[in-house]
């Protein structure tokens, strides 16, 4: 489905219907009434966002925002695609479905695309480069890996790729020093899952931390773990930092401050929940097992868990993060983007670019993302009438309120350091103040050593 002027059409992109081209410098658009001639060197760069739109028994043509009605034919001049081979490293959820999309594209255009599943593609890419081995043309990566890959000269700047429909957060996730190093493909967000059997009357989506605590207190009386999440990980601390007043995770100089008032308030709040037995810190696998067994009322997890819990037939619901009732500030979920980068060593940069334009197109985004409860990276997909997201309102709220995992390497340093320290605070072996002071020293020493 494609939107134009608030109307929705069944549409097919030029990358899905016409032969692949390295460049197109002239197009003739013939309609019932007129002939339009377009002359530009980069016309092929817009094919992924140009569509044949079914309009009753005829087709219209949407190109660069201009609608040409009742198309008879389109003629074009340019250079056909010469490259026919690509290698891609894939990771994370949905590999089988993603391979299907890639294979369909390859069959359509008579290409040979080799896909390889790699558990840590960014680390492997750097290692293979250092060993002077063969690297892929495209590599899947998370936004937090960008700076390391840029510094190792593993990936190339992609500012030249024209993708006007990508949401701003998606661009920000892969932008470093005003250059785009990756094209987002999907994102996961953080939400609260609850057991409907244990919480038959859930709060509204505008709920507060106070309401969350009240529900947890009632569950505690039933000898049920009220709340469980991986409080050892900084990813689950950051939303609380935002709700207690931290404006930005990264400072203007690119550093991260660990010992500050919002972080201290946030961690004190989480430790307080644990001390009152309202929260049981637990890593993901154990948390999921207890939730599935019906021994937990609420968990905080990623949207990626929705298909898994649905496949098990669990009676669950989801809620967006609550608002801090004391200051009116909401917890901000992290938006975890996965995307693709083109390696500097690729021998097929234009073919790699065409595949990226296809994967970020409306067709793939509509097929792949809803099936796996992934969030699309386009402005339009979540607004399609009848789009098959069971929890659409919650998902939209998280996108609006979410913050992007930054591409800078300092985020990984912060994540690793806090992983070591949060256990001390949650176990009571160190006070919150001592934990954060130690974290600040670790951050300063680690970043200093890596300069």
- The pLDDT of residue 448: 56
- Structural domain containing residue 263: 190-332+410-449
Between CA 194 and CA 184 the distance in angstroms is 30
Alpha carbon 288 to chain centroid, angstroms: 22
Between the CA of residue 281 and those of 269, 271, 317, 436, what are the distances in Å? 13, 10, 21, 18
The rounded mean pLDDT for the chain is 91
Kindly state whether residues 281 and 374 are assigned to the same domain. no
How far apart CA 375 and CA 172 sit, in angstroms, is 16
Reduced to 3 states (helix: H, G, I; strand: E, B; else coil), residue 51 is: strand
Angle at 340 between CA 336 and CA 342, to 5 degrees: 150
| Per-residue pLDDT tens digits for 330-370 | 999 999 999 999 999 999 999 999 999 999 998 899 889 98
The conformation of residue 250, written as its DSSP 8-state character, comes to S
3-state secondary structure of 241: helix
Q: Is 245 left (phi over 0), alpha (psi -120 to 50) or beta?
A: left
Last residue of a domain, which of 80, 101, 126?
80
- Mark whether 428 and 351 lie in a shared domain: no
- State whether 274 and 346 are in the same domain: no
Q: List the CATH number of the domain containing 230.
A: 3.40.190.10
- Same domain? For 289 and 249 the reply is yes
Judge if 203 and 289 occupy the same domain.
Answer: yes
Among residues 80, 109, 144, the one where a domain terminates is 80
- Does 131 share its domain with 35? no
User: How many angstroms separate the first and last alpha carbons of the chain?
Assistant: 48
Q: Which long-range contacts (CB under 8 A, 24 or more apart) does 171-174 make?
A: 172/404, 173/143, 173/335, 173/337, 173/339, 173/404, 173/405, 173/406, 173/407, 174/143, 174/146, 174/337, 174/339, 174/341, 174/407
Determine the Cα–Cα distance for residues 174 and 147; give it in Å rounded to an integer.
9
Are 235 and 318 in the same domain?
A: yes
Backbone angles phi, psi at 126, to 5 degrees: -65, -40
Q: Does one domain contain both 199 and 50? A: no
As a whole number of Å, the CA-based R_g of the chain is 24
Among left, alpha and beta (phi > 0; psi -120 to 50; other), residue 369 is alpha
| Residues 313, 441 within the same domain | yes
pLDDT in tens, 171-227: 999 999 899 999 999 999 999 999 999 999 999 999 999 999 999 999 998 889 999
Domain count, the chain: 3
Beta strands 51-55 and 175-176 are unpaired
Same domain, 175 and 141: yes
What is the distance between the alpha carbons of residues 432 and 428, in angstroms, rounded to a whole number? 9
Question: What is the chain's pLDDT, residue by residue, as a tens digit (451 residues)?
Answer: 777 666 777 888 999 899 999 999 999 999 998 999 999 999 999 999 899 998 888 889 999 888 999 999 999 999 999 999 999 999 998 999 999 999 999 999 999 999 999 999 999 999 999 999 999 999 999 999 999 999 999 999 999 888 778 888 999 999 998 999 999 999 999 999 999 999 999 999 999 999 999 999 999 988 899 999 999 999 999 999 999 999 999 998 888 999 999 999 999 999 999 999 999 999 999 999 999 999 999 999 999 899 899 999 999 999 999 999 999 999 999 999 999 999 999 999 999 999 999 999 988 998 899 888 889 998 788 777 767 777 878 878 888 788 999 999 999 999 999 988 999 999 999 999 999 999 999 988 876 555 4
For 81-211, list the strands marked E by DSSP: 85-90, 112-117, 138-142, 175-176, 179-180, 183-188, 190-195
Domain boundary among 80, 112, 130: 80
Q: Tell whether 306 and 388 lie within a shared domain.
A: no
415-419: list long-range contacts, CB under 8 Å, 24+ apart. Answer: 415/144, 415/233, 415/234, 415/235, 417/258, 417/442, 417/443, 417/446, 418/233, 418/234, 418/237, 418/258, 419/232, 419/233, 419/234
In this structure, the answer to whether residues 183 and 239 fall within a common structural domain is no
């Amino acid at each position: 489905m494609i939107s134009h002027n608030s109307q929705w059409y069944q549409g097919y992109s030029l990358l899905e219907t016409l032969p692949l081209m390295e460049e197109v410098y002239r197009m003739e658009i013939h309609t019932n009434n007129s002939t339009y001639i377009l002359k530009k060197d980069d016309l092929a760069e817009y094919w992924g966002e140009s569509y044949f739109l079914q309009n009753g028994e005829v087709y219209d043509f949407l190109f660069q925002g201009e609608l040409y009605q009742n198309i008879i034919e389109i003629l074009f001049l340019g250079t056909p695609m010469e490259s026919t081979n690509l290698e891609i490293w894939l990771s994370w959820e949905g590999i089988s479905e993603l391979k299907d999309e890639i294979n369909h594209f390859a069959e359509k255009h008579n290409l040979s695309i080799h896909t390889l599943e790699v558990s840590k593609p960014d680390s492997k890419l750097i290692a293979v480069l250092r060993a002077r081995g063969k690297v892929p043309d495209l590599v899947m990566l998370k936004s937090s890996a960008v700076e390391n890959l840029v510094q190792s000269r593993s990936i190339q700047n992609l500012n030249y790729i024209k993708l006007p429909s990508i949401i701003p957060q998606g661009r920000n996730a892969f932008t470093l020093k005003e250059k785009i190093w990756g094209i987002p493909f999907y994102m996961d967000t953080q939400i609260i899952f609850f057991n409907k059997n244990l919480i038959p009357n859930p709060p509204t989506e505008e709920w507060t931390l106070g309401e969350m605590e009240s529900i947890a207190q009632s569950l505690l009386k039933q000898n049920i773990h009220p709340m469980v999440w991986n409080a050892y990980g900084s990813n689950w601390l950051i939303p609380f930092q935002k709700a207690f007043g931290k404006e930005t995770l990264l400072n203007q100089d690119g550093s991260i401050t660990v010992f500050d008032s919002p972080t201290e308030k946030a961690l004190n709040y989480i430790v307080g929940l644990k001390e009152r037995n309202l929260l049981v810190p637990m890593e993901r696998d154990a948390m999921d097992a207890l939730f599935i067994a019906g021994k937990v009322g609420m968990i905080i997890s990623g949207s990626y868990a929705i298909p898994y819990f649905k496949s098990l037939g669990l009676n669950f619901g989801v809620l967006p993060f609550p608002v801090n009732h004391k200051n009116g500030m909401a917890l901000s979920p992290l938006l975890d983007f996965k995307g693709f980068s083109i390696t500097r060593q690729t021998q097929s940069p234009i073919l790699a670019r065409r595949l990226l334009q296809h994967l970020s197109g409306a067709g793939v985004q509509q097929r792949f993302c809803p099936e796996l409860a992934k969030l699309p990276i386009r402005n339009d997909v979540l607004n399609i009438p009848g789009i098959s997201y069971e929890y659409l309102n919650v998902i939209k709220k998280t996108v609006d309120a979410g913050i992007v995992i930054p591409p800078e390497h300092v985020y990984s340093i912060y994540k690793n350091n806090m992983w070591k320290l949060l256990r001390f605070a949650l176990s009571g072996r160190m006070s919150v103040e001592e934990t954060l002071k130690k974290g600040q020293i670790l951050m300063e020493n680690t970043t200093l050593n890596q300069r």
